[in-house]
Chain A
Amino acid sequence: MALKELSSLEKCLGLKKPNKYSTQGERKVPVLQNNNGPALVGLVTIASHLVHEAKRTELLGNSAEQRAVVQQWLEYRITRLDNCSKEEVKVILKELNQYLEDKVYLAGNSFTLADTLMYYGIHHIIMNLAVQEKEKFLNVTRWFDHIQHYPGVRHHLAPVVVLRNRVYPSGQH
C-alpha cells in the first residue's frame, strides 16, 4: 500500500524518474536507498524527501505555523490512522469531522502533503461508509470529495461517490 502511495505521489509531484523502493520489517515500512547518504525509512520521511526533490516545498507549508500543522497531520496519519481498530475508526472520524468544520484544507489555507497522505490513508474507510454515515460525518466527506477531485491527486485509488444533496434529514443521526 505504502509503495503504491509513493509512486502516486511521485506522479502527482511531477517527478520524472520513479525511485526504487524496498520494504523492511513486518509492517512493510518503505525504504528508499539513496546513492549519497543513509537510507530513508518511513512513509512520511520519504514523502517529505520527494517533495523537496520536486522543489515543491510549499506542500510542506508556507509559514512556520502551517509547517507545524502539516507535520502534526503526517504524524497523525502514521500513528493514529494506519492499522487502527474498528472502534478507533469512529473516534477518528468524529475528531476529523469536528476539526474540519471550519477548514477547507487540513493545514492552513492551501493544499499540502498533509491532505494528500491523509486522503490516501483514510480512503479505505470512507469507501466503505454507508450514505447515512457519510452524511453524519459531513465535513470529512466534504473535505474528502474536494481532495479526491484535486488535479493530480487521485491515481491508484477508486473514486468514492459523494451525493450532492443531503438524503437523510439532519435530525436522523
Chain B
Amino acid sequence: MTKEQVTGAAEEEQQAQSKKALKKQQKEAEKAAKKAEKQAKLAAEQQTADEDDFAKDRYGVSAMVQSQEKVDRTLVRVQELTPHRGGQLVWVRARIHTSRAKGKQCFLVLRQQQFNVQALVAVGDRASKQMVKFAANITKESIVDVEAVVQTVEQKIESCSQQDVELHIERIFVISQAEPRLPLQLEDAVRPETEGEEEGRATVNQDTKLDNRVIDLRTTTSQAIFRLQSGVCQLFRDTLINKGFVEIQTPKIISAASEGGANVFTVSYFKTSAYLAQSPQLYKQMCICADFDKVFCVGPVFRAEDSNTHRHLTEFVGLDIEMAFNYHYHEVIDSITDTMVQIFKGLRDHFQTEIQTVGKQYPSEPFKFLEPTLRLEYREAVAMLRAAGVEMGDEEDLSTPNEKLLGRLVKEKYDTDFYVLDKYPLAVRPFYTMPDPNNPKYSNSYDMFMRGEEILSGAQRVHDAQLLTERALHHGIDLEKIKAYIDSFRYGAPPHAGGGIGLERVTMLYLGLHNVRQTSMFPRDPKRLTP
C-alpha cells in the first residue's frame, strides 16, 4: 500500500473509531437517562408510600413466632367458612395459593389442606393503597394470618372449595414467608392430564413431583389421597379388633429370607449379615402356634425386586392377617373378604369428600363390590379366558395381561371390581401352601383382585412338620435355613390360613389411580432413595 493509501486507511480507522466512540457515548447517555428516570420514579413512589398510610398497623410481616406470648384468639378452619357464618369477623391462618392485583383491589385465594376460599383486599376505609400493594406482593405459599369479614356471594365461586362465601380482609400478617421461586407450581401439579393437553397448559411430571415431595403433598389431591389411606389403615384395624383379632409386631431384621433368596435386602449385622423381612409370614404363623388364634400386623415390607413398574415398590406397608380355623379354610376367606368389604363401605360412607377431590384430577369409575364377595374357582377363570380367545394351560399361572382381562370379563359378567380366585394350581404357589385334598394338582390357595390387579395372595398353610419338610424338599429349599420355622409346628399347631395386602396398592386401586407412587408418601423403588 502507498503512504496515501495507508494514511487514507488510518483516517478511515480514525473516523470509524470516532464513530464508535460516538455510538458508545450515545449509549451511555441513554443508560444514564434511563437510570435517572428510574430513580425519579422510585423517589416518587417512596413519596406516595410515605404519604398517609392510615392502615399501617393492619398489615405487615410478623416477627417469627418463637412462642413470645399466648394470644387468646380462635382461628377458624377454612372448611368452616360457610354462609351460616355470614357477617362474622373471623381470624384465619392459611397459605397464599394465588394472588391477583387489579388496580385498587387484590384477589387472593387462601388454601388450607383440601379447602380454599377467595379473599379480597380493597382500598377503602379499612385498607390503604399500600396495604393492597403489600398483599399483592406476598409470595405464593407464604403462611398468613388474616382477620376478615365472611361475606356471602350470590354467584358461586366455582374455582374454590368454599363456593358460597368470600373473605373481605381487614388485617393481614405474614407468619412465614416462602421464597419467591417455587420448584413447582401447585396449580400445575393439580391440573388433570387431559386439561393440560387440550388447553396447552403445564402439568408437572411424576418425577418432579416426587423430587419435591413436600410441596407436592400440599396439593388438594395429595391431601385427599393420604387422608383416605389413613382411613384404610384405621378401618383395617377397627374391623379386625372388632372380630377379636390381636395386633402383633413382627421383627423386620431376620436371619433367613422368608419368601425366596432372590429379592431380599441384606444388611450388615455386627460381624455377620442379616436380611430385611420380605413379609411377616413366618412370624404370623409362629404366633398362631403360640395360641394367639387371630392376629394381624401393619408394618413395612422390603422387596429387593428390580421391577420398575407402576405397581412395584421396594418398600411398602403390608397389612397382614393370619387366623386359625376350625374345619375349612373358607372360614378364613370369608373373614378376610368381610374385612375388605367393611373397609370399602367405610371409605364409601366417610371419605366421599376425599374421593371426589381425587376424582377432580384423576377421574375414575366408583369402586363396586358385591355382598357376599364373589368367589370364582381358578378352573372357571381359565374357562372364561379361553372363551374370550386366550390360550393357556390348566396349571399355568395368570400373566398380568390375563389377570387384567379376567378382571374386565368378571366386571362385565358380575358387575364387581373385587373378587376372589380360589384353588390355584399347586405348582405356582410357595412351598408352605396346603395342597388340595381332592386333587393333587391344585392347592388351598387364593388371590384377591381389585380392578383386575392382584392385591392379596393367601392360602391355608401346611401346619404339619413332616408334610412341610416334604414340600420344602420338593421345592429344593435348604432345610437348615428354615429349621426354626419347621420346628414351630412340632409341638401341636392348629390349622390356619391368612393373607397380606399392600396398603399403597389397595389405596391406588380403590381410587382408580394408575401408579403406586402416587399413594406412597415417600416412595422407594430401584431408582429412588430420597426424599
Contacts and interface: CB of A to CB of B under 8 A. Distances in A.
Nearest to A161: B389
B388 A161 contact: yes
Interface string B402-416: 000100110110000
Main secondary structure of the interface of B (DSSP, over half): helix
Interface in B381-398: 387-389
Contacts of B411: 167
Given A130-B401, A131-B405, A165 B389 contact: no
Interface string A104-145: 000000000000000000000000001110000000000000
A169 B411 CA distance: 10
Contacts of B412: 165-167
B389 A167 contact: no
* The 8 residue pairs across chains A and B that have the minimum distance between CB atoms: A161-B389, A167-B408, A167-B412, A165-B412, A131-B405, A131-B388, A167-B409, A163-B388
Nearest to A165: B412
23 contacts: A130-B401, A130-B405, A131-B388, A131-B389, A131-B405, A131-B408, A132-B405, A132-B408, A160-B389, A161-B387, A161-B388, A161-B389, A163-B388, A165-B412, A166-B412, A167-B388, A167-B405, A167-B408, A167-B409, A167-B411, A167-B412, A168-B408, A169-B365
Nearest to B387: A161
Contacts of B401: 130
A163 B406 CA distance: 13
Contacts of B409: 167
Nearest to A169: B365
B359 to A, nearest CB: 14
A130 B365 CA distance: 23
Nearest to B401: A130
A170 to B, nearest CB: 12
A130 B405 CA distance: 9
Main secondary structure of the interface of A (DSSP, over half): loop
Interface residues of A, number: 11
Interface in A57-105: none
Contacts of A167: 388, 405, 408-409, 411-412
Given A131-B388, A165-B412, A167-B408, 6 more contacts: A130-B401, A131-B389, A131-B408, A163-B388, A167-B409, A169-B365
Nearest to B410: A167
Tier of interface size on chain B: 10 to 19
Contacts of A131: 388-389, 405, 408
Contacts of B408: 131-132, 167-168
A126 to B, nearest CB: 10
A113 B409 CA distance: 35
A168 B389 CA distance: 16
B418 to A, nearest CB: 17
Contacts of A166: 412
Contacts of A130: 401, 405
Contacts of B405: 130-132, 167
Nearest to A129: B389
A160 to B, nearest CB: 7
A165 B365 CA distance: 19
Interface in B411-461: 411-412
A84 to B, nearest CB: 23
B411 to A, nearest CB: 7
A78 to B, nearest CB: 28
A169 B366 CA distance: 13
A49 B112 CA distance: 79
B385 to A, nearest CB: 10
Contacts of B389: 131, 160-161
A165 B411 CA distance: 11
Contacts of B387: 161
A169 B409 CA distance: 12
Contacts of A165: 412
- Counting chain B CB atoms within 10 Å of each CB, the highest count among A130, A165, A167, A169 belongs to A167
B416 to A, nearest CB: 14
- Counting chain A CB atoms within 10 Å of each CB, the highest count among B387, B389, B411 belongs to B389
Contacts of A160: 389
A86 B52 CA distance: 76
A160 B365 CA distance: 31
Interface string B12-44: 000000000000000000000000000000000
A159 B511 CA distance: 39
Nearest to A163: B388
- Counting chain B CB atoms within 10 Å of each CB, the highest count among A131, A132, A161 belongs to A131
Interface in A144-173: 160-161, 163, 165-169
A163 B411 CA distance: 14
Contacts of A169: 365
Interface string B324-365: 000000000000000000000000000000000000000001
A166 B412 CA distance: 8
A147 B387 CA distance: 20
A136 to B, nearest CB: 13
A23 to B, nearest CB: 31
B233 to A, nearest CB: 30
B154 to A, nearest CB: 36
B372 to A, nearest CB: 24
Nearest to B365: A169
Contacts of A163: 388
Interface string B124-139: 0000000000000000
